[in-house]
Every structure is written in C-alpha cells, then in structure tokens.
Amino acid sequence: MTLADFAALEKMGNRHRGISGTALGFGVGALALGIAGLWGVNAASQARSRSAELTAAANSDAIKALAAIVGQERISRENWQGANQPTISQTLSLQNNPSLQSTVQDIVTAMAAARAEANNTGLGSAVANDAALRVHLYQPPIPCQCGCNG
C-alpha cells in the first residue's frame, strides 16, 4: 500500500466516528428501562417488607391476647381450687365423718373382692398376683403305642 491509500482509508474512517442518533436513542432507552426496573424492584421489596412488618405485628397482638386469656383462665382455676380444696385436717380426719369412713371401707372391700375374683379365673391364675406370665416349656406330642400316628 502506498501513502495515498492510507490517507484515503483515513478519510473514510473519520466519516463514521460519531455516534448515530439511533444508537444514542437505544442506549438512553436501555438506561431508562434499567433505572425503571430497579425502581420497580425496590418498590416491590419495600411492599414485601411492609407486609412482613404488618404480619409480625398482627401475630404479636394475637399472642398477647392469647397470653391474657391463658392468664385469666389460670387465675380462675387457682381461685376455684383455693375455694374448694379441703384443708389438711379435713383430709386426714376421717373419724369426724362416718359417711366418708364407710365409703373408703366399701372401696377397699370392693377392690379386694375384685382381686379375689380375678385370681380364681383363668387369667388370674395365669398372671398370678400381677407377676409375669408363666412360661411353660414346649413338649412335642408323644405318639401312642398303637401305631395310629404312622
């Protein structure tokens, strides 16, 4: 190539060095879309964050209400137990109340009768006095001497 050829190529290259209007428009449009997209993502993120905050606040309020109900129920139950619980002297002194004394005696007698009945049945004799089940060793059948077993 000669020097004139280089000069001609240089002149042709200088003609298209500037950015065309279309390319500039596409670039600015893409930049604007990118900024709008980031703004949309940010707005959606803020909305989700606010929703999570409101949900947490609602859950906290529900837990507080439930704790208040449980506390009221506990106080009510403790007050009832305090009002209806017998004193130690009432609990220990059966001699002062013959009807309670006979009731306790009837319960003990019924339990003894039930245990005696259970011990006389097959189950009671197999499970003697609440002990472990009796185990018998296996014995194969003994063939008779008449030859009927083959």
pTM value is: 0.35
Do both 43 and 68 map to the same domain?
Answer: yes
d(CA 59, CA 8): 78
Please give the structure tokens belonging to residue 31: 């930049």
d(CA 78, CA 68): 15
What does DSSP assign to residue 86?
P
Do both 29 and 72 map to the same domain?
Answer: yes
100, 94 contact by CB (below 8 A): yes
- Dump pLDDT digits (tens) for 94-118: 656 666 666 777 777 888 877 777 6
Please give the structure tokens belonging to residue 2: 């000669």
Domain of 67 in residue numbering reads as 21-84
Q: Is 124 exposed, middle or buried (0-12, 13-18, 19+ CB in 10 A)?
A: middle
Count CB-CB contacts under 10 A for residue 119: 13
Is residue 12, in this structure, part of any structural domain at all? no
Distances in whole angstroms, Cα of residue 47 to Cα of each of 20, 43, 54, 60: 41, 6, 11, 20
d(CA 29, CA 92): 93
78, 71 contact by CB (below 8 A): no
- Dump pLDDT digits (tens) for 57-108: 999 999 999 999 999 999 999 998 888 887 777 666 665 666 666 677 777 7
141, 147 contact by CB (below 8 A): no
Is residue 11, in this structure, part of any structural domain at all? no
How many domains, the chain? Answer: 2
- Dump pLDDT digits (tens) for 30-44: 999 999 999 989 999
Do both 59 and 30 map to the same domain?
Answer: yes
